[in-house]
């Protein structure tokens, strides 16, 4: 299984809602990532988990809360988002964080905040 | 300074022709990895090819090859025999010692359109 899955594919939420994005991989990878991508821009790193511990937080607002319950699963909890948070949210995994480890990406969740 | 520079916002290529997408990078680390990803309009990032800083030979994967010129700090992607399905956004990326190799830095991308 060389796939990273993400649910839901699309999400529309109001600014007062609480929702969660889910990411799963069964490749035995020990590094997982959340990216935010606006239209026609490259992905921007948000968080890195290495061996289920948060190792990088790129100064992301606290309305985004990551969670890594186990080595296969990564969640992103959303609360009180702003319209400017509307974007494609991509999850990725890699076997580790060595220089040569490519990332495998999921299909993304297209988030719209009203 | 940009760590990854892609100077071609958009490129056109005739079907069955070869095309080169440019990428230059900036790092002082001796150990780093360079990657190319394809992103179709559907949104998923697809890994294409990898080149390590210590690799002596240019990487190849099917119709994709990487023209690695270490002294010039360039890692251009060559797509041979272009197909309509190659129309997509292409990102060059690098993993180096900054952030303990945990960060992957992406260029701004090149939008490739294959013309029938």
What secondary structure does DSSP assign to A40-105, as a single string?
A: TS--EEEEEEETTEEEEE-S--TTEEEEEEETTEEEEEEES--GGG-EEEEEEEESSSSTT---EE
Is residue A89 within 8 A of residue A108, CB to CB? The reply is yes
Q: What are phi and psi of A27, to 5 degrees?
A: -100, 5
What contacts A44, CB < 8 A, 6 or more positions away? A35, A36, A37, A38, A58
Residue with tokens 């490519």: A102
What contacts B80, CB < 8 A, 6 or more positions away? B18, B63, B65
**Is the model more confident about A101 or about B38?**
B38
The pLDDT score that the predictor gives to residue B77 is: 98
**pLDDT at residue A2 is higher than 80:** no
The pLDDT score that the predictor gives to residue B75 is: 98
Alpha-carbon span B77 to B52, nearest angstrom: 14
Interface size, chain A vs chain B, as Cβ–Cβ contacts under 8 Å: 68
**pLDDT at residue B1 is higher than 80:** no
- Provide the token pair at A45: 């790193």
The string of pLDDT tens digits covering residues A10-52 is 999 998 899 999 999 999 999 999 999 999 999 999 999 999 9
The string of pLDDT tens digits covering residues B42-68 is 999 999 999 999 999 999 999 999 999
The string of pLDDT tens digits covering residues B100-113 is 788 899 999 999 99
**Confidence tier at B2 by pLDDT (50, 70, 90):** low
A59 touching chain B per CB within 8 A: no
B64 touching chain A per CB within 8 A: no
Nearest Cβ partner of B50 from A33, A40, A102? A102
The pLDDT score that the predictor gives to residue A1 is: 60
Q: Do B47 and A97 count as a contact with CB atoms less than 8 A apart?
A: no
- Provide the token pair at B14: 């005739």
């Amino acid at each position: 299984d060389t796939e990273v899955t993400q649910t839901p594919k699309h999400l529309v939420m109001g600014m007062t809602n609480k929702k969660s994005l889910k990411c799963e991989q069964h490749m035995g990878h020990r590094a997982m990532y959340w990216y935010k991508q606006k239209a026609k821009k490259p992905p921007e790193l948000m968080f890195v988990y290495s061996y289920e511990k948060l190792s990088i937080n790129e100064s992301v607002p606290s309305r985004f809360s990551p969670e890594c319950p186990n080595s296969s699963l990564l969640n992103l909890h959303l609360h009180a988002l702003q319209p400017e948070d509307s974007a494609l949210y991509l999850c990725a995994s890699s076997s580790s964080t060595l220089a040569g480890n490519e990332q495998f990406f999921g299909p993304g969740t297209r988030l719209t905040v009203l | 300074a940009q760590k990854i520079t892609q100077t071609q916002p958009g490129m056109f290529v005739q079907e069955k022709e070869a095309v080169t997408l440019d990428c230059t990078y900036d790092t002082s680390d001796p150990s780093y990895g360079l990657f190319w990803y394809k992103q179709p309009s559907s949104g998923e990032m697809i890994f294409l090819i990898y080149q390590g800083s210590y690799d002596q030979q240019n990487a190849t994967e099917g119709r994709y090859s990487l023209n690695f010129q270490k002294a010039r700090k360039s890692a251009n992607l060559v797509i041979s025999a272009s197909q309509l399905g190659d129309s997509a956004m292409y990102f060059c990326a690098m993993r180096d010692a900054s952030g303990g190799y945990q960060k992957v830095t992406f260029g701004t991308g090149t939008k490739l359109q294959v013309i029938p």
